[in-house]
Structure 1
Amino acid sequence: MYETSATVVGTVITNPVKRQTTNGEEVLSFRMASNARRKDAVTGEWTDGATLYLTVTCWRRLVTGVGASIMKGDPVMATGELRTNEYTTKEGIARSDLEMRATAVGPDLARCIAKIERHSKPVSGDEPTETETAAA
């Protein structure tokens, strides 16, 4: 299968759900929607274009950060590999779903303000100097 890398800017439309695979690995997923908005030059009104819906799956270290930070309604940017999943519903209807296996997820800072909480200690040389500490 050929996978395409992409970055999608949009809004989280479901709360993230964490689950475990059969081998015990955690995975977190959520749905997001992205649509283009254009300003009509004649009327000056904004109109929505078509909406792209996709499922974003997060693995390994991304599970913790996204699970603690992202919720339904948040403006986000997600980067990762796109693939199409084809399946049949219980009613026998063939469907397909666009999925992104995320490599990075974060807030869209054009539409929100985020406070970053760092979990690691500063790297040697990154610690504030006495002058910087006194100024604070």
Structure 2
Amino acid sequence: MFETYTTVIGSVVSEPRRRQTTTGEEVISFRVACNSRRLDKRSQEWTDGPTLYLTVSCWRRLLAGVGVAIAKGRPIIAHGQIKTNEYVTNDGEKRSDLEMTAVAVGLDLSRCVARYEEPGATAVVAVEEVAARPAAA
């Protein structure tokens, strides 16, 4: 089987949800919205491109850090294996969505400032939003 790894940059759009699988393994999942910004050469204004939504699932070693640092509205960078999930709704409708099994997740430091804590430290991660500024052309 071919594994497709990718990196996404976006904003967390749902509260992270921690749960246990039927086998007792813990996972944290959250939704991310990613979109590109382009400079419209005619109007000289920044415009948003289409939005990509996906679910990011975090397992094992990622649980501690993600559980403390990631929250709805925060800017993140996530890297992992991406796949399409196909499922049938309760109404019998076939649907699909994208899911990333993350191997690395972090705050996007171009859009926030964070304080680093060693693993095992009992401190709250401080995240400060940075004013939105246009990306370099």
Q: Which amino acid aligns with 2:102?
A: A
Over residues 57-114 of structure 1, what are the superposed CA-to-partner deviations in whole Å (9 max), with x where a residue is unaligned?
0000101110111000000000000000000111111110100000000000111111
Q: Which amino acid aligns with 1:64?
A: A
CA distance in 2 between counterparts of 1:61 and 1:43 reads: 46
Q: Which amino acid aligns with 2:57?
A: T
Residues paired across the two proteins, number = 121
More helix by share: 1
Aligned residue for 1:113, secondary structure, equals strand
Q: Which amino acid aligns with 2:110?
A: A
**What is the TM-score normalised by the length of structure 1?**
0.85
CA distance in 1 between counterparts of 2:91 and 2:120 reads: 49
Q: Which amino acid aligns with 2:87?
A: Y
CA distance in 1 between counterparts of 2:77 and 2:112 reads: 12
Aligned Cα RMSD in Å? Answer: 1.3
More strand by share: 2
Q: Which runs of 5+ in 2 are unaligned?
A: 122-137
**What is the TM-score normalised by the length of structure 2?**
0.85
Percent identity reads 59
Q: Which amino acid aligns with 1:30?
A: F
CA distance in 2 between counterparts of 1:115 and 1:40 reads: 36
C-alpha displacement of 1:119: 2.3
C-alpha displacement of 1:2: 2.7
